[in-house]
Amino acid sequence: MASIKPFEALRPTVELAAQVAARPYDVLSSEEAKVEANGNPHSFYHVSKSEIDLPEGTDVHSAAVYAKAAENLQALVNNGTLFKEASACYYIYKLVMHGRSQTGLVCVSSVEDYNNNIIKKHEFTRPEKEQDRINHITATKAQTGNVFLAYNDVPEVNSIIDHWQTAHAPKYDFVAEDGISHTIWVVNDAATVNNITQLFEEKVPCTYIADGHHRAASAALVHAALVKDGKPAEAANWFLTTIFPASQLAILDYNRTVKDLNGLSKEAFLSQLDYTFTVEAVGHTPKKPAMLHEFSMYLDKTWYHLVAKEGTFTTDPIGVLDVTILQNNVLDNILGIKDPRTDKRIDFVGGIRGLEELVKRVDSGDMQVAFALYPVTIQQLFDISDSGNVMPPKSTWFEPKLRDGLLTHTI
The pLDDT of residue 318 is: 85
Q: 209 near 196, Cβ under 8 Å?
A: no
The pLDDT of residue 261 is: 97
By residue count, the chain amounts to 411
What pTM value is reported for the model? 0.86
- φ/ψ region of 336 (left if φ > 0, alpha if ψ in -120 to 50, else beta) reads left
The pLDDT of residue 204 is: 96
> Coil, strand, or helix at residue 5?
strand
Rg of the Cα atoms in the chain: 22
Backbone angles phi, psi at 373, to 5 degrees: -115, 155
Domain 254-374, CATH number (from 3.40.50, 2.20.25, 3.30.1760, 3.40.1800): 3.30.1760
DSSP state of 333: T
The pLDDT of residue 45 is: 97
pLDDT in tens, 301-325: 999 999 999 888 888 888 888 999 9
pLDDT in tens, 167-202: 999 999 999 998 999 999 999 999 999 999 999 999
Q: In this structure, is the dihedral angle defined by the CA atoms of residues 114, 115, 116 and 121, taken in order, positive or negative?
A: positive
Q: Which residues of the chain have pLDDT under 50?
A: none
Asked if residue 400 has a cis previous peptide bond (ω within 30° of 0), the answer is yes
Query: Residue 369: which residues within 8 A CB-CB, separation 6 or more?
Result: 257, 258, 261, 269, 297, 298, 299, 362
CA distance 166 to 160: 10
The pLDDT of residue 354 is: 85
CA distance 204 to 113: 12
The pLDDT of residue 326 is: 95
CA distance 376 to 292: 9
Q: 43 near 17, Cβ under 8 Å?
A: no
Q: Quick one: which of 242, 179, 218, 216 has its CA closest to 402? A: 242
Q: Which helix (H) or strand (E) holds 146?
A: none
The pLDDT of residue 188 is: 96
The pLDDT of residue 307 is: 96
Angle at 67 between CA 66 and CA 71, to 5 degrees: 120
In one-letter notation, the amino acid at residue 247 is S
pLDDT in tens, 197-251: 999 999 999 999 998 999 999 999 999 988 887 776 788 899 999 999 999 998 8
Neighbours of 33 (CB within 10 A): 23
Neighbours of 289 (CB within 10 A): 19
Tell me the domain boundaries of the chain. 4-251+399-410, 254-374
